[in-house]
Structure 1
Amino acid sequence: MQTHEIRERFINHFVNSGHTEVPSAPLILDDPTLLFVNAGMVPFKPYFLGQQNPPFANGTATSIQKCVRTLDIDEVGITTRHNTFFQMAGNFSFGQYFKEGAITHAWTLLTDPVDEGGFGLDPERLWVTVFLDDDEAADIWHRKLGVPKDRIQRLGMADNYWSMGIPGPCGPCSEIYYDRGPEYGKDGGPVVDDTRYMEIWNLVFMENRRGEGTGKDNFEILGPLPKKNIDTGLGIERVACILQGVDNVYETDLLRPVIDVAEKLTGSPYGKDHDSDIRFRVIADHSRTGMMLILDGVTPGNEGRGYILRRLLRRIIRSARLLGATGATMEKFMTTIMDTMTPSYPEIASSRERIIKTAVAEEKAFLRTLESGTHLFEDALGAAKEKGQTTLSGDKAFTLHDTYGFPIDLTLEMAHEAGLEVDREGFNALMAEQKARAKADNRAKKHGGADLSVYREFVDGHPTRFTGYGNLTDQATVLGLVHDGTKLTHAGQGKQVEVILDTTPMYAEAGGQLGDRGTIRVGDTVLDVTDVQKIGKKLWVHKAVVTNGEIGVGDTAVAEVDKKWRHAARQAHSATHLIHAALRQILGPTAVQAGSMNKPGYLRFDFNYTEQLSAEQLQQIETVTNEAVDVDWQVNTIETTLEEAKAMGAMALFGENYGHNVRVVEIGGPFSMELCGGTHVDHSSQIGPVAVLGESSVGSGVRRIEAYSGLESFGYLSKERALAEGLASSMKAPTDELPDRIAALTEKLKAAEKQIAEFKKQQLQQQAGTFVDDASTVGAFTVIAEKLEGLGGGELRQLATDLKNRLGDVPGVVVLGSDDGGKAPFVVGVTAEGIARGVKAGDMVKLVSRHVNGRGGGKPDMAQGQGTDAGGFDAAFTAVTDDLATR
């Protein structure tokens, strides 16, 4: 039975029994506590936590949620049941059926014959576990479904009691296992061997509240929940493993084709060697996870989600190399996994080119990194083994990371393969010296991770009615006031407060558009609204300051949007849509949105693209955008179902979790048609001029365009004109001749710089002869130690090479430093005879570094570095000669 059929049977079973089918949420949710969705219940957290009431008609739901668990990365391939990406099929009950219903549903689906919609598993091969004192569940399994008592085993809290790991809902669970047979392990059930007995389904009976604590079993149970809930999770991959009769999850219909391709690309066989098999499984698993992450909008980067994706893709590349691949592999891996996954996820088809481009670009970049970094690693490895060391130093690991782009995980992996540890403390200390990485995004700062329970009654009972598409002023009732997570009844002058209204014309930040600014008035009392945020997609929270008077719960208020703010914000948001359309027209359909931000007069637009845009392309994008403004297209908004919107050709932002009903914004018919809840102009001419400021890279495979709109654009263009006219006046040339004049001046400057460089080279050659003549003898060594002025690192290295060659066969050491405008570059060169006598340039560079507040490194014959204190060179030269005198 193919995996997509297993999925279909699961959903049909529960839909036919009255459950609401809920599509899988994206792997990225607006939850700052999670990098990725890691369990099937995550999208339902607000209902289990009591923050919102479930919107399902019968209080039951079913879904097949795509999940990623990054903690399992190092287990992939080593065990035969861990995947970083997996599909968790689940059924959920919110205060409806409980233990007997959950158990019966699961048993029926697993054991019903295939021709009746079930999976047709042999009941005699199914074992179950229950919590230690859960007699009720054990009795249902035995008396109602006939499972023999000797196939019902009891386990403690660490195994059969579920919680989220934090205070909140919890409860006992019952797990279903399949006996794969004696060839897979020992007899005796899952308590004896959980490899032979494979867990396939976990039924969680959520009935209690847990308190503070750590671990899986070190917490207090505070009491019962108001309602008993059901949360189950069936592993699609594990069921496929059983129904397809394969040994492990890597050999099912979804992943085995990738292994087959890897065999062809590498020339190595699968199933012959333990270490090779691990690498094949890593390739298969990570190809799927990487592809699904890219599908949902993740791009390779150096932090957070992007770092996880980068690590996965680089492990694929390195595993393929170790298996014998010599050329590019990523495109074939990605193509193969997309073919196997598309029947379950049809949206892959429209993103194939983008996925391949992103993965291939990362492969090209990493192959360069791998080549240069591997040489450095091997040098460090050889040096460590030569000295009898068992640990790779933290500074070597940091250099690999900082200079060569080697992730620390890759260094750890390579060191482990070579039998070495890595000094993580030293590495972490050096990392701590770098600048702090970017903090959580703007939304996470505003509400992420906060206790949102204070808003629960408003989200459930009083969702905000938004009237701002048609109104800029509206009357409302004050439903609530919140300050620092505490509800207030009144707020007086000077108080910062969050105001909850039953109705508002103010737009809450969403879709890249910042929240409106405006005022709330209650009689003579005035509040300045500085931001509007959305809670649970239903509740508008107005962040405001009481400028005078007092506001209270129950008051009748008038909410008014700042008209200038809204007008300029509408211009920027509509301009964002036009630029998106222009990008796709100029660059092609793979240039799709990866994020945006627009505020009055300004927009930035991130899009997936692997190449820098040319000046000509930027000009074309600006031209197409302004032509769309000039045409004066009408801007239409259409409210329809998600399915109808997609049929119309409306673009959806990948990774976004849309509801059943959506809003389509259409500008110029097919020119621009996107799903969008933002505010927009009525006609494209109302946007005013759009000035593209430029584009830049914001991550691997992601570019960013920035632009002004409306009056901000006009002001920017006026300043540019004034600047051009000023230059024209200075150069006594018309503005249209400026490019040619500047190009001519640039060429003259380059020629002058070339002459200066040649002159410097001649001077250095003359000095080189003098330095050799003035060389000193220290013990057995001929030493040249000179401090120079105004030379950079490259020039010092060139001079050091010349001096080494002039010294010839003598044991010689060259130490050069320079005061270069506040910088202190330095170079050490050692002749072959000097190296033979035990002197290494890299060691000498470290000695120099201590005196000039610098750092550096290199090879035994040539090393260099840079400091900040050129005044320390004299002491550094003395330290070098003192060291040489003792040899």
Structure 2
Amino acid sequence: MNSQELRQVFIQFFEKKHHTFVPGSSIVPENDPSLLFVNAGMNQFKDVFLGKDSSFNRAVNSQICIRVSGKHNDLEDVGKDLTHLTSFEMLGNWSFGDYYKKEAIEWAWSFLTETLRIPKYRLVATVFNEDDESESLWKDITDINHAQIVRCDEKDNFWEMGKTGPCGPCSEIHVCLSDEPINFELNQDVINDGRFIELWNLVFIQFNRLNNGELEPLPNKHVDTGAGFERLCAFLQGSQSNYNTDLFLPTIKKIERLTGIAYSDDDSGMPHRVIADHVRTLCFGIADNVFPSNEGKGYVLRRLLRRACRYAKKLGVENPLLYECVSDVVNSLKDHFTHLKDKEEVIKRVVLAEEESFLATLSSGLQMFEQIKAHLVAQKSTSLSGEDAFKLYDTYGFPIDLTSILAEEAGISVDFKQFDELLNKQKERSRKAASFEQQALDNAQQHVSHGQFDGLDLHLAEDLNIAKGGEARIIHDRDEKVGMARHHSATHIVHEVLRRRLGTHVHQAGSLVDSHRLRFDFSHFESISSQEQDHIEKEVNDIIQSNLKIDTFHTDLESAKKSGAMALFGEKYDKDNVRVVKMSDFSVELCAGTHVQNTEMIERIKIISETAISAGTRRVEAIAGTENIKEYLKKDIRALSENMQSQLEKYEKKVSKNMEKSWGDFSDKWQECSNRSIEKCDVGEMEEYIRKIKNCSFCILIVKKEQYNVSSFSLTTFTFPSHSTSDVSSCNTTLSAVMVLSS
């Protein structure tokens, strides 16, 4: 059974049991600051578990999960074995206060043994030590061999999503890798000793873990199950390796072709596995608008890409390779994850740009590491200092985990504590450098220029008598407010035009708006040409002149999204009350800022710069308003004029200095030959005369400009000693003397 068939069979099995199919969510958690990435199929159902949403009581879906950080972190194991992945697909069925343990166990056993026809003698069920009910159900409603039911402790059979949130006991189903009947005693240690692989986890959610660690009963009991899609594929396709399936083999075969090195399931195949896995995770991340960067989710992707580059280098690859594997990943998943196909070209371009950037520094970084290693060997030391590790990180862009890998291979330990101290000091310096902000009565304005203050806003006043519930009047600067609104509305138009011209991968990565300008940061992987900037500016101004009406209204988050409103990446929204800014049919965004009433009030915009602020992130700066643009252009012309004048003065001084030196040299030569005779000749005799004097080291030809046009006569046929062929045919006709010097 291929992967596409397995996914469909699973979904259809539970749809027949009255489950609603719910498409998998983005890998970026929505309104959940506790998670960096979606790491379980139930993440999108958290509100349903907590009783805040009751749209359905049974669900089935397929969800991509990423586990590279926090409690659930599989990164270090990826490539070392044949099963661990940084991104994996979880098949799941859920009950929200509906059925419970009996149905969950019965249906899981039925699907595995009847639908997929997995031999019953190879399956083992585990239950939580304190969960007598689940053990009894396994014995009563299935025909599993009772000896193949194993009790386990909290470590393996009590499921928690994170430090807080829904949790509960679980029952896992494992398959024995050997095709022989199980004829040995089973216990928790045996289950975990490598002879079995977990296929499915049935979680019985009945508690909510609080911040203080205590468990409180949930209003209703729920079921959350997760079946490892890649592991099921491997078993059904006759392999013990996730990588020997139709999900990964096309990518691995591409790596073999590009490197000329065959893949193997042993340690020599680790680079192939790492590259295939990491490229797949990069595809899912970039398709959901997470771009490699130096912080947060973007930094996770950057680490994965650089780690994969390192393993590509182990295969002897010096040029970009990862981007060439993108199409193979997309083709293996496009039938179900259609957005990957839509974003394929964007993914390839982002990966290529990031690869090229890193490879440019990788060689120099490796050289630095080799120097450090050689020094340690000479000193008979096996410990790399945190200072050296930080230098590799800060100067050469080496992630600390890459340094750790290199050190581990060389038998060297790393002082991670010192590294963390240096890194925290750097962050503290950066924080302090940007910690002081002030604005006039910002918390009382309808819109501030950028973000929010981290903490309380404090306004100081002297001799001010106010009472609770009293009235206050705020007098604002009208020009300031109009300018702010003009630039804010212009930002929305710029955003939409960028998406239409450059691609839907463009998303806001930051912005600043004030009364005189706008600054818009966005996800994009290459510079924008001057010609393209002109097209963007024209299109924005065409929209402005269209006099589109700008409406604002409040609604709930779900309704806003259904209306097409674009939410900003990483922004947190009130689920029940959001503000929507709609510009006719051109743009719809969630926004709490001040805007003009129609686009014509913006008047026009002028793009003044386009730069990179990090790999994968660009910045456009622009100004809006006719008078504002005029004032900017005046200043720009004035600055240009002053710069040109300054450059001209420098040039004049340089030319004057050079002329003085040349004339000084000429005077010295003139003085040297002042006692020599100066012969005269007519124009017609000049060529003959030059032949006579061709061996002299210095001569001056005096030519009367009214008699002879220098530009019509060439000396190219005369070669002077130690001097290249001379040609004065281009000399100005006003010259009255030609000086020919030999070296």
Q: Which residue of 2 aligns with 1:251?
A: 244
**SS of residue paired to 2:173:** strand
Counterpart CA distance in 2 for 1:233 and 1:749 is 78
Counterpart CA distance in 1 for 2:377 and 2:254 is 37
Counterpart CA distance in 1 for 2:299 and 2:484 is 33
Q: What are the superposed Cα offsets for residues 766-823 of structure 1, whole Å, 9 maximum, x if unpaired?
A: xxxxxxxxxxxxxxxxxxxxxxxxxxxxxxxxxxxxxxxxxxxxxxxxxxxxxxxxxx
Q: Which residue of 2 aligns with 1:325?
A: 317
Counterpart CA distance in 2 for 1:173 and 1:246 is 27
**Please, which of 62, 74, 93 is the counterpart of residue 60 of structure 2?**
62
Shift in CA distance, 619/385, structure 1 to aligned 2, threshold 3 Å: same
Which structure 1 residue ranges, 5 or more long, are not aligned? 114-118, 214-218, 443-495, 499-505, 516-528, 532-546, 732-738, 756-887
Alignment of 1:444-455 (within 5 A): none
- Given that 2:447 and 2:592 are in contact with CA atoms closer than 8 Å, whether structure 1 keeps it comes out as no
Q: Which residue of 1 aligns with 2:679?
A: none
Shift in CA distance, 676/417, structure 1 to aligned 2, threshold 3 Å: same
Q: What are the superposed Cα offsets for residues 695-715 of structure 1, whole Å, 9 maximum, x if unpaired?
A: 3323211102133445xx744
**SS of residue paired to 1:247:** coil
Q: Which residue of 1 aligns with 2:410?
A: 418
Alignment of 1:567-578 (within 5 A): 571-578=486-493
Q: Which residue of 2 aligns with 1:768?
A: none
Counterpart CA distance in 2 for 1:293 and 1:391 is 35
**SS of residue paired to 2:343:** helix
Counterpart CA distance in 1 for 2:599 and 2:416 is 57
Counterpart CA distance in 2 for 1:692 and 1:41 is 45
Name the Cα RMSD after superposition: 4.6
- Given that 2:509 and 2:523 are in contact with CA atoms closer than 8 Å, whether structure 1 keeps it comes out as no
Which structure 2 residue ranges, 5 or more long, are not aligned? 435-440, 459-464, 660-743
- Given that 1:186 and 1:196 are in contact with CA atoms closer than 8 Å, whether structure 2 keeps it comes out as no
1:133 matched to 2:47: no
Tell me by how many angstroms 1:26 deviates. Answer: 1.7
**SS of residue paired to 2:90:** strand
Higher RCO structure, 1 or 2 (CA under 8 Å, sep 6+): 2
Q: Which residue of 1 aligns with 2:389?
A: 397
Q: Which residue of 2 aligns with 1:277?
A: 269
- Given that 1:607 and 1:702 are in contact with CA atoms closer than 8 Å, whether structure 2 keeps it comes out as yes
Q: Which residue of 1 aligns with 2:225?
A: 232
1:298 matched to 2:290: yes
Amino acid at match of 2:338: P
1:20 matched to 2:20: yes
Counterpart CA distance in 1 for 2:618 and 2:284 is 21
Q: Which residue of 1 aligns with 2:44?
A: 43
**SS of residue paired to 2:53:** coil
Shift in CA distance, 34/643, structure 1 to aligned 2, threshold 3 Å: closer
Counterpart CA distance in 2 for 1:691 and 1:750 is 37
Tell me by how many angstroms 1:231 deviates. Answer: 1.8
Q: Which residue of 1 aligns with 2:355?
A: 363
Shift in CA distance, 725/259, structure 1 to aligned 2, threshold 3 Å: closer
Comparing both structures, which one devotes a greater share of its residues to strand?
Answer: 1
Tell me whether 28-37 or 153-162 shows the greater mean CA deviation.
Answer: 28-37
**SS of residue paired to 1:97:** coil
Shift in CA distance, 745/107, structure 1 to aligned 2, threshold 3 Å: farther
Shift in CA distance, 257/143, structure 1 to aligned 2, threshold 3 Å: same
**SS of residue paired to 1:434:** helix
Tell me by how many angstroms 1:322 deviates. Answer: 0.7
Counterpart CA distance in 2 for 1:616 and 1:742 is 30
Counterpart CA distance in 1 for 2:657 and 2:418 is 43
Q: Which residue of 2 aligns with 1:286?
A: 278
Tell me by how many angstroms 1:314 deviates. Answer: 1.1
Tell me by how many angstroms 1:65 deviates. Answer: 2.1
Tell me by how many angstroms 1:654 deviates. Answer: 7.9
Shift in CA distance, 578/226, structure 1 to aligned 2, threshold 3 Å: closer
Counterpart CA distance in 1 for 2:269 and 2:450 is 49
**Please, which of 256, 262, 286 is the counterpart of residue 263 of structure 1?**
256
Q: Which residue of 1 aligns with 2:622?
A: 707
Counterpart CA distance in 2 for 1:203 and 1:751 is 85
Counterpart CA distance in 2 for 1:379 and 1:550 is 68
- Given that 2:151 and 2:187 are in contact with CA atoms closer than 8 Å, whether structure 1 keeps it comes out as no
Amino acid at match of 1:37: V
Tell me by how many angstroms 1:415 deviates. Answer: 1.2
1:352 matched to 2:344: yes
Counterpart CA distance in 1 for 2:613 and 2:77 is 31
Tell me whether 616-625 or 236-245 shows the greater mean CA deviation.
Answer: 616-625
Counterpart CA distance in 2 for 1:210 and 1:652 is 30
Counterpart CA distance in 2 for 1:183 and 1:388 is 52
Tell me by how many angstroms 1:639 deviates. Answer: 13
Q: Which residue of 2 aligns with 1:96?
A: 98
Counterpart CA distance in 1 for 2:256 and 2:352 is 19
Larger Rg: 2
**SS of residue paired to 1:124:** helix
Identity fraction in percent: 37
- Given that 1:691 and 1:717 are in contact with CA atoms closer than 8 Å, whether structure 2 keeps it comes out as no
**SS of residue paired to 2:32:** coil
Q: What are the superposed Cα offsets for residues 11-38 of structure 1, whole Å, 9 maximum, x if unpaired?
A: 3333333333332222222333222111
Amino acid at match of 1:98: Y
Q: Which residue of 1 aligns with 2:503?
A: 589
- Given that 1:64 and 1:89 are in contact with CA atoms closer than 8 Å, whether structure 2 keeps it comes out as yes
Q: Which residue of 1 aligns with 2:4?
A: 4
- Given that 1:172 and 1:205 are in contact with CA atoms closer than 8 Å, whether structure 2 keeps it comes out as yes
Shift in CA distance, 750/611, structure 1 to aligned 2, threshold 3 Å: farther
Q: What are the superposed Cα offsets for residues 844-865 of structure 1, whole Å, 9 maximum, x if unpaired?
A: xxxxxxxxxxxxxxxxxxxxxx
Shift in CA distance, 645/682, structure 1 to aligned 2, threshold 3 Å: same
- Given that 1:127 and 1:151 are in contact with CA atoms closer than 8 Å, whether structure 2 keeps it comes out as yes
Normalised TM-score (structure 2)? 0.73
Amino acid at match of 1:149: H
Q: Which residue of 2 aligns with 1:718?
A: 631
Q: Which residue of 1 aligns with 2:308?
A: 316
- Given that 1:185 and 1:196 are in contact with CA atoms closer than 8 Å, whether structure 2 keeps it comes out as no
Shift in CA distance, 95/508, structure 1 to aligned 2, threshold 3 Å: farther
Alignment of 1:786-825 (within 5 A): none
Amino acid at match of 2:274: V
1:151 matched to 2:153: no
**Please, which of 161, 173, 177 is the counterpart of residue 176 of structure 1?**
173
Tell me by how many angstroms 1:750 deviates. Answer: 8.7
Normalised TM-score (structure 1)? 0.62
**SS of residue paired to 2:319:** coil
Counterpart CA distance in 2 for 1:397 and 1:750 is 48
**SS of residue paired to 1:611:** coil
Alignment of 1:371-386 (within 5 A): 371-386=363-378
